[in-house]
Structure 1
């Protein structure tokens, strides 16, 4: 019988792999927030104090907390079986998120926690020490040392809760001055605020809503479907049974850009952002995982910009959907894709209808003709030669003047700034307003012609 040889990976090498799993700051903090929500937290505060020579990031919650044995177990890498059955609402999967997410952004992770009726406890992973010792040497603090931990919040929950402190940060590429750190930190926190507002928006409302803050400033939810906006359309919905549970599907059509609240439009990246992010919005236990894109099931289009399909899946489907350790991507099973496809046509069709209805309303007038050539698959905008005013002008003009006018109108039609109009309608549709055309120069020209 073959003998067995222990070949566990070197901690010094293994930790370098864990640091490079592929988190961004946004996805790393989101993974940590998942743990806070799973612990029943009602208040989650992200704190990154400015002005420090060595910046840190803290995530503080008022969840159930841990005693020393639980903390030690949860500091273990991969402390959960990814195939084990999850309780409803459990946002974890591998039991590695808190650690790998932290290691991707910092070389030092300190966790302080208190369970109700228990003393404050703390433990730390220090990558410098792991590399030096080539050992998984978890530092556990004595009770007297806990209150002296750098970055410990003075607002630490009296009853119960947990605080993660990320220090010796590796996620910033800045100089050595505190001002450099503060500038970079402010920019990153602004991006993080937008990310949390979108990906956790469903936890910020309803009877069991949580309060999220960054540096004590509340984060307001961003609804990607604009369900409370004027002219929002709710489409068909269905509950689909699949292996391991049910998924819920809902379709949405956003209001036309003209009717969108300016603040909401900006929150979703403007018209360009809305167009790019059409498609599927997949939630795992109410937490947004995929924010837009059709995942190869249909092409994006300008006319389909307002279409959204919401898909809710339980954590029990993680294995079939191949949810990754970061909970930032997944793969839709082939059978589910087939079922989903029938829901994609309706919101896209209604999105096109919203665009086309407004288009006919605005351009179908007596001055312009819209010519769609099915053979060449082209669309052109031409000055209407049957316009009564134009015919009257030509009747009252001599031959030379009429020829000059027709040549001018021909050039005018050929040189319509289509590309510029398209660009501005994509980026800033609310700013394009022909009602505000300045006609003073033309009026002055008319007066000069009359005065001859």
Structure 2
């Protein structure tokens, strides 16, 4: 029966079926995050041999107008620029290039902007530019030719080593969807502070090997175009996910080898972080449940930061385990990189081979996982202090805080979590306890003072919520509130109300200036 089944289907010729112009709209709806989209542009700069990349936010007073990425790479001629702006345009990627599919520039840009302009110059060619506007793109793939005088002026704006010297490329996003619209100066400042921090962390992690070499730099800058003043200038630092000062286990790091029939030997460089590390490379890149596991590199670019890819489920006791894997040059169907380069699909062939992975002395990968688990558990026992269990935190507490609480404190089994929320409360009290409903209620009138002008949200005010949760947890555990508890609650109320009023006075004074 198996021999009768064939994949050869008889055909009667071919027919040319070009994509509908709306295909570009679909291509720009792949779920690119803002940081991942910018990282894709930086990849192109690296492929062009750039040593300096500037990510430039332009603002006109309170309003953000454009985002530009400027590099001092080799640049492109007009013909090369046409290929780069063609969806799926074919070019020969050099060995070690980060680009793959010929779609990143277009899909990443039009996912976040209404228009993308690319202007470039080589050492032997004049500046040339092309511009995709989504509306034109949907109307028959009509790509605009940038007027040569403007192309020259845009190159000139960043010439003289800032960073372009003789050659380079400028990518400009207009109509950026993520930019705040009508929030005024405070919203713009908050957006920039948040976005620059997240973008710097993302690029610092994904491209940490390039940034650590010393001959490649990324700068994030903000310029007020009305005054020409650069109001922010931030150098991106490498964030090495394996950059611990001292190993958590003296037997590691250790390299295990996986025999995968279709691609050969794949080394697993396996590390155990020191317990309770507070450095950014450990706690600053995400949840410890998400950042344990495999760190997959392609041509020195980190394309997946953590995760076990169906090998096993993440668990708290493996929080210290991180494994660096270099994707082989020819991966076949074993490692399939996503178009956005933010994850890798790994075939069952590799997962099955992990069971037999071993180092040169015959020690197994399974033994490594056991060692990582034991290192975590032993660190908890060595403290010599047994912390009292608590009722877990629930809705209203920032997830990152909840994770640390679950790591640091044992929880009482079978207990409903304590939720924290803002509500209208009569009188001057800062908070009320709903012991039966397992809720800490914060007085809505003090919310602006606590947030200090920041945006409200379900998980806002993490510091005040964490403090209150720790202070009143035992009150929720008791059958009744005794005199000592009542006195403590009154003390905390008085201090918090005084602090909130002081903050309200500060806000009032600031608004009156």
Q: Same fold (TM over 0.5)?
A: yes
* SS of aligned partner of 1:49: strand
- Distance in 2, Cα, partners of 1:152 & 1:246: 49
SS at match of 1:95: coil
Contact residue 80 and residue 93 of structure 1 kept, 8 A: no
Normalised TM-score (structure 2): 0.64
Q: Within 5 Å, give how 1:33-432 maps onto structure 2.
A: 33-51=42-60, 53-80=63-90, 87-131=94-138, 134-149=139-154, 153=158, 155-172=162-179, 174-175=181-182, 177=184, 180-206=187-213, 209-215=215-221, 216-229=233-246, 231=248, 234-238=252-256, 240=258, 242=260, 243-244=262-263, 247-257=266-276, 260-269=277-286, 273-317=287-331, 320-341=334-355, 342=357, 344-363=365-384, 416-417=389-390, 419=392, 425-426=405-406
Given that 1:67 and 1:115 are in contact with CA atoms closer than 8 Å, whether structure 2 keeps it comes out as yes
Task: After superposition, give the CA deviation of every residue in 1:117-154 in whole Å (9 maximum; x if it has no partner).
Answer: 322221111123334xx122222234323134599535
Match of 1:9 in 2: 19
How far did residue 427 of structure 1 move?
A: 6.3
Change (3 A) 1:90 1:244: farther
Aligned length: 372
Paired with 1:346 and 1:355, the residues of 2 have a C-alpha distance of 14
- SS of 1:316's equivalent in the other structure is coil
The separation in 2 between residues aligned to 1:338 and 1:282, in whole angstroms, is: 18
Higher relative contact order (CA 8 A, sep 6+): 1
Question: Which residue is 1:23 aligned to?
Answer: 32
Q: Is the radius of gyration larger for structure 1 or structure 2?
A: 1
Check the 8 A contact 2:241/2:282 in 1, yes or no: no
Distance 1:362 1:176 in 2: 49
1:17 Cα offset (Å): 0.9
1:448 aligned partner: none
Q: Tell me how far apart the structure 2 counterparts of residues 349 and 54 of structure 1 sit (CA, whole Å).
A: 51
Residues 263, 292 of structure 1: CA spacing in aligned structure 2 closer, same or farther, 3 A cutoff? Answer: closer
Q: What secondary structure does 2:54 align onto?
A: strand
TM-score by length of 1: 0.72
How far is 1:55 from its partner? 2.0
Deviation at 1:251, TM superposition (A): 0.2
For 1:284 and 1:59, how far apart are their aligned partners in 2?
Answer: 23
Shift of 1:102: 0.5
**Residues 148 and 354 from structure 1, CA distance in 2 versus in 1: closer, same or farther, beyond 3 angstroms?**
same
Kindly indicate whether the alpha-carbon contact (under 8 Å) linking 1:254 and 1:307 is maintained by their aligned counterparts in 2.
yes
What are structure 1's unaligned runs of at least 5 residues?
369-380, 382-414, 430-440, 442-452
RMSD: 3.4
